[in-house]
């Protein structure tokens, strides 16, 4: 077993489950992952708590691991209790476990379950931690001055809206709003002509902090329960017209999509990386600086965006990859820094709050996490393999995000899907 911090027997790549589908190569939910989610099976009126294992869901209450169905309460557990729960899950799901016979009764096939939001999301904050995204978007708006002078000093964010965050698998109508083209003398009202996605990760807050009591950088991970994929759908034409002086508003809050499984911090332990700041960049202020953050603050998570148009769907073509990046390469700040900064003024975070990273574009052109970047502000359409082109999204388009972690000597784990489909705008 490795002496590396946070890695224990639950990460042993040789560990196999009595749930056979979890042992198949390429499975996103092997026994080393164990992400949490909320599901309903046929006849259920309330959400149930489950853990993904292979193509099955282990119901936590039926397995005797919790006596409630409140994910937010489960997420408040301290680090030791969380680790203990992970240990019990890993042991009980391992081949030849004494729990097998009883826990088989607690399995529900994923194909017969509907996944919901993983918890009640009280508040939602979106950061802007992707420096390649911030630079590319800044260049479109301000060619001479792409990165604003505060960017390398202060993690930029805004308060979003939790009420319109949806679980993966939904559809939504194209939003309407005000926009003003360069040639227009006055703004128009109508369906957005520049609808976009944003490739992000969402961080779920576990333990709350009392108002007035900042979360220090070295304590931040005690308050972070885990990660999910997050698509911060954006109407670029609405955004361009409304964003000054207070930032995003109706361009963002019509809908956001989150994947149903929270991959825990514990599961991600093998995939952590040192975090560093280029020597000629400003170094973080003391409250954003720490040895543990330097040693293992970053997470190497491979991310991917796939697009399926209506024509592709009709022809039976699979979604096509249009972008890929990695969280560790894309982010200028770590999640611990985002949490420390968010609370440094005394702001209270609640269990279930969602903190999104911002668009995670990589340095290369095909690593851009939005169509705004991939199409150079709508000037250069991307070409799909069936001959279709896109600058922004058309009605009928589906966007699916994927996330995976892999490292030599460890079992790869995945995040599942974060998918949603754009419909035509509602008639007014
Ligand atoms: Mn965003």
For ligand 1, the distance from its centroid to the CA atom of residue 65, given in whole angstroms, is 36
pLDDT tens track for 25-58:
999 999 999 999 999 999 999 999 999 999 999 9
Specify whether 42 is located in the same domain as 108: yes
Q: What's the CA-to-centroid distance between 188 and ligand 1, angstroms?
A: 24
| Residue 51 in tokens | 């853990």
Using the 3D structure, point to which of 92, 115, 138 is the last residue of a domain.
115
Give the CATH number of the domain where residue 96 resides: 2.30.30.230
Position 2 in a domain: no
The pair of three-digit structure tokens given for residue 4, joined into one six-digit string:
């590396």
Quote the CA–CA distance of 183 and 97 in Å, as a whole number.
69
37 falls within a domain? yes
Confidence label for 307 from pLDDT (cuts 50, 70 and 90): very high
Clarify whether residues 344 and 393 are in a common domain: yes
Confirm whether 81 is domain-assigned: yes
Active site residue 133: yes
Give yes or no for a contact between 396 and 314, defined as CB atoms under 8 angstroms apart.
Answer: no
Ligand 1 centroid to residue 20 C-alpha, Å: 38
Residue 289 in domain: yes
Examine the domain organization and report whether 245 and 144 are in the same domain: yes
Q: Is the pLDDT of residue 145 over 90?
A: no
Same structural domain for residues 319 and 371?
A: yes
150 and 271 co-located in one domain = yes
Q: CA 98 to CA 88: how far, in whole Å?
A: 12
Buried b vs exposed e over 110-138: b needs ≥16 C-beta within 10 Å?
beebebbbbbebebbbbbbbbbbbbbbbe
Give the residue among 418, 410, 406 at the shortest CA–CA distance from 9: 410
Residue 25 lies in a domain: yes
Counting Cα atoms < 13 Å in the Cβ hemisphere of 148 gives: 10
The CATH number of the domain where 396 resides is what? 3.90.850.10
Q: Are residues 320 and 239 in the same domain?
A: yes
Band (1; pLDDT cuts 50, 70, 90): very low
pLDDT value at position 46?
95
Residue 102's φ and ψ, nearest 5 degrees, are -70, -40
Round the average pLDDT of the chain to a whole number and report it.
Answer: 97
pLDDT of amino acid 428: 61
pLDDT digits (tens, 9 = 90+) for 217-260: 999 999 999 999 999 999 999 999 999 999 999 999 999 999 99
pLDDT of 3: 59
Interval 375-399 mean pLDDT: 97
If you measure from the C-alpha of residue 128 to the centroid of ligand 1, how many angstroms do you get, rounded to a whole number? Answer: 7
Neighbours of ion ligand 1 (CB under 5 A): 126, 198, 232
Q: How far away, in angstroms, is 127 Cα from ligand 1 center? A: 7
Question: Is residue 306 domain-resident?
Answer: yes
**Whole-structure pTM value:** 0.97
> In which band, very low, low, confident or very high, does the pLDDT at 5 lie, cut at 50, 70 and 90?
confident
Do 194 and 236 touch, CB atoms closer than 8 A? yes
pLDDT band at 142 (very low <50, low <70, confident <90, very high): confident
Residues 239 and 278 in one domain: yes
Last residue of a domain, one of 89, 115, 141: 115
Q: Residue 325 falls within a domain, yes or no?
A: yes
Structural domains of the chain, count: 2
CB-CB neighbours of 104 under 10 Å: 12
Q: What domain range is 108 assigned to?
A: 9-115
Which of the residues 133, 341, 342, 402 is marked catalytic? 133
Q: How many Å lie between the centroid of ligand 1 and the Cα of residue 1? A: 39
Q: How many CB atoms lie within 10 A of CB 398?
A: 18
Is there a domain that residue 1 lies in? no
Three-class DSSP category at 110:
helix
CB 320 within 8 A of CB 385: yes
Query: CA angle at residue 357 from 393 to 167, to 5 degrees?
Result: 60
């Amino acid at each position: 077993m490795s002496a590396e911090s946070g890695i224990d027997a639950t990460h042993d790549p040789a560990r196999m489950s009595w749930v056979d589908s979890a042992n198949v190569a390429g499975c996103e939910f092997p026994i080393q992952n164990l992400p949490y989610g909320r599901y309903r099976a046929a006849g259920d009126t309330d959400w149930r708590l489950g853990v993904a294992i292979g193509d099955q869901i282990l119901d936590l209450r039926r397995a005797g691991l919790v006596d409630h169905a409140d994910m937010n309460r489960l997420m408040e557990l301290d680090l030791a209790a969380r680790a203990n729960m992970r240990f019990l899950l890993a042991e009980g799901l391992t081949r030849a476990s004494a729990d097998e016979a009883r826990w088989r009764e607690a399995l529900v096939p994923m194909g017969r379950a509907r996944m919901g939001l993983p918890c009640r999301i009280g508040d939602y904050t979106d950061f802007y931690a992707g420096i390649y995204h911030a630079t590319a978007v800044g260049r479109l708006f301000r060619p001479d001055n792409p990165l604003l002078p505060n960017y390398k000093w202060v993690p930029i964010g805004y308060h979003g809206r939790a009420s319109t965050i949806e679980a993966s698998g939904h559809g939504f109508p194209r939003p309407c709003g005000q926009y003003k083209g360069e040639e227009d003398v006055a703004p128009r009202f109508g369906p957005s002509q520049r609808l976009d996605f944003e490739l992000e990760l969402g961080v779920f807050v576990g333990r709350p902090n009392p108002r007035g009591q900042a979360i220090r950088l070295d304590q931040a991970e005690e308050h972070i329960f885990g990660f999910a994929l997050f698509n911060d759908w954006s109407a670029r034409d609405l955004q361009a017209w409304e964003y000054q002086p207070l930032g995003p508003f109706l361009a963002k809050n019509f809908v956001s999509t989150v994947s149903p499984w929270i991959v825990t911090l514990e599961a991600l332990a093998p995939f952590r990386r040192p975090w560093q700041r280029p020597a000629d960049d400003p170094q973080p202020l003391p409250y954003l600086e720490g040895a543990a953050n330097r040693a293992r603050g970053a997470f190497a998570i491979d991310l991917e965006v796939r697009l399926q148009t209506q024509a592709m769907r009709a022809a039976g073509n699979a979604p096509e990859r249009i972008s890929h990046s990695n969280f560790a390469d894309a982010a200028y700040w770590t999640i611990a820094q985002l949490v420390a900064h968010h609370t440094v003024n005394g702001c209270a975070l609640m269990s279930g709050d969602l903190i999104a990273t911002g668009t995670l574009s990589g340095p290369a052109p095909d690593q851009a996490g939005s169509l705004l970047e991939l199409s150079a502000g709508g000037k250069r359409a991307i070409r799909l393999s069936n001959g279709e082109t896109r600058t922004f999204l058309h009605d009928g388009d589906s966007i699916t995000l994927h996330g995976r972690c892999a490292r030599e000597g460890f079992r790869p784990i995945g995040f599942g899907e974060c998918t949603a489909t754009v419909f035509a705008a509602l008639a007014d």
